Structure 1
Amino acid sequence: MSLPLTGPASAQPTAAPRADAAHNRRKILDAAATIVSEQGPEALTMNAVARASGTGVGTVSRRFGDVSALFSALLDDREQRFQQAFMAGPPPLGPGAPPGERLRAFLHALADRVIEQRDLLLAGEAASPMARYHHGAYLGLHTHTAMLIRQLRPSADASLLAHLLLAPFAPSLITHLTRDRTRTPEQIKNAVDELLDSLLTTG
């Protein structure tokens, strides 16, 4: 004897729309990231994202509102992925490695992230230069860096050292180094290693 669809089973029709919405959101964000990476942030329009993602302009607008909100969502999405990697990913970036190794892996990963997403991050920095230091994303990076420094140098001013270690990763400086000075990611990471080695061997 068949049973009527009640309880959890009756909720199945709403599962598909939620899954479709999440899938569309992912497609839109991935398409937006590709446009910024390949054409620059000025090419990011609702029409361009709709075409690249295979969705309608109305869908993009309903999901994100306008280009400014789409920029913010894209930044948050990339930041959440990065935070997940250094907070819960495999070592040495994630937990399980000695603090010195974790800090080095973290700074290298941060260099790669800023270089890869410099146009997107630079657009956000240009809109409000000082806002970076009050944003939850930067505060998360700073808290993590200070925690590792504190483990390495308990008597040091970990908060100040964390700010100074993160300073070279300002999007404007990374853009200047990689574009104007043609420095490679490897050269930047080697220079970061020299700064870090001074911290680890002093005091």
Structure 2
Amino acid sequence: MPERQSSRKDAVRNREAVLAAADALFSRRESPEDVTMADVAATAGVGKGTLFRAFGDRAGLLRAVYEARLEPVRQAIEDGPSPLGPGTPPRDRVVALLDAVLCFKLDNRRLALALEEGGGGSPYRAEHYERWHGLLRAVLEQVPDLPDPDFTAHALLAATRADLIEHLAAEARVPRERMRSQLASYTTRVLDSGPPPGVG
């Protein structure tokens, strides 16, 4: 039993070391593509086999770093009190949730882009997307007279896709605060639009 506990502690310690190393390397390099699994293993002081056992592949490592960086946002959503928390009126909470997604992706542009562009099938089946969509849909269901919360959640999240954010930030040079204001304004218009003619 003590050996098994020691082995589990080693695995947890190795995982934490790998995540810290990957996070530091991704932060320093221009693009996540510039970071190899060998770089991460060497920086963390573990063998490449440990890395692959813990995360499966490069995409698994990217997802794990993304999730680790997202943890403070998730805690604010679940634990409140904050504009993201369950005590906030639904309309305000929808705006706050989308603003949180936008800010997170602006702060983690390269990582978000690599994750959304990296193979593995449809980005809409990714765990992080399904979680955001489910949360947003649940809040939209609380907004009176809003038709089809499921589609509306997809449509609003489309405005926070990493490739769109990268285009707006890097190519169109839209300032961060303007982007936030535009998204909030767009979201409010969607929430205020009501059902189109012939629907409802």
> What is the TM-score when the length of structure 2 is the normalising length?
0.81
Kindly tell me: are residues 61 and 76 of structure 1, through their superposed partners in 2, closer, same or farther at Cα, counting changes over 3 Å? same
How many residues align structurally?
193
Q: 2: CA distance between counterparts of 1:162 and 1:66?
A: 30
Q: 2: CA distance between counterparts of 1:94 and 1:16?
A: 38
2:14 aligned residue (24, 38, 41): 24
Q: 2: CA distance between counterparts of 1:199 and 1:79?
A: 26
What is the aligned partner in structure 2 of residue 115 from structure 1? 106
1:86 aligns with 2:77: yes
Which residues of structure 1 form unaligned runs of 5+?
1-10
Kindly tell me: are residues 60 and 94 of structure 1, through their superposed partners in 2, closer, same or farther at Cα, counting changes over 3 Å? same
What is the aligned partner in structure 2 of residue 98 from structure 1? 89
Bigger mean CA offset, 167-176 vs 157-166: 157-166
| C-alpha RMSD over aligned residues | 2.6
- Checking the alignment, whether the CA contact within 8 Å between 1:75 and 1:120 is kept in structure 2 is yes
Q: 2: CA distance between counterparts of 1:187 and 1:58?
A: 45
- 1:79 positional shift: 5.2
- 1:93 positional shift: 1.1
Kindly tell me: are residues 50 and 162 of structure 1, through their superposed partners in 2, closer, same or farther at Cα, counting changes over 3 Å? same
What is the aligned partner in structure 2 of residue 38 from structure 1? 28
Q: Counterpart of 2:81 in 1: which secondary structure?
A: coil
- 1:55 positional shift: 3.3
What is the aligned partner in structure 1 of residue 141 from structure 2? 150
Give the number of the structure whose alpha-carbon radius of gyration is greater. 1
Instruction: Write the mapping of 1:157-196 to structure 2, written as runs, cut at 5 A.
Output: 157-196=148-187
What is the aligned partner in structure 1 of residue 51 from structure 2? 60
1:136 aligns with 2:136: no
- The percentage of counterpart residues that share the same residue type is 33
Which residues of structure 2 form unaligned runs of 5+?
195-200
Q: Counterpart of 2:174 in 1: which secondary structure?
A: coil
1:51 aligns with 2:42: yes
The Cα offsets for residues 116-171 of structure 1, whole Å up to 9 and x where unpaired, read as 22212212322349611122321221121122222123442211211111111111
Kindly tell me: are residues 147 and 43 of structure 1, through their superposed partners in 2, closer, same or farther at Cα, counting changes over 3 Å? same
Kindly tell me: are residues 24 and 104 of structure 1, through their superposed partners in 2, closer, same or farther at Cα, counting changes over 3 Å? same
Bigger mean CA offset, 21-30 vs 51-60: 51-60
Kindly tell me: are residues 73 and 129 of structure 1, through their superposed partners in 2, closer, same or farther at Cα, counting changes over 3 Å? closer
Q: Counterpart of 1:152 in 2: which secondary structure?
A: coil
Bigger mean CA offset, 26-35 vs 161-170: 26-35
Amino acid at match of 1:87: E
Kindly tell me: are residues 46 and 173 of structure 1, through their superposed partners in 2, closer, same or farther at Cα, counting changes over 3 Å? same
Q: 1: CA distance between counterparts of 2:141 and 2:57?
A: 42
2:65 aligned residue (58, 68, 74): 74
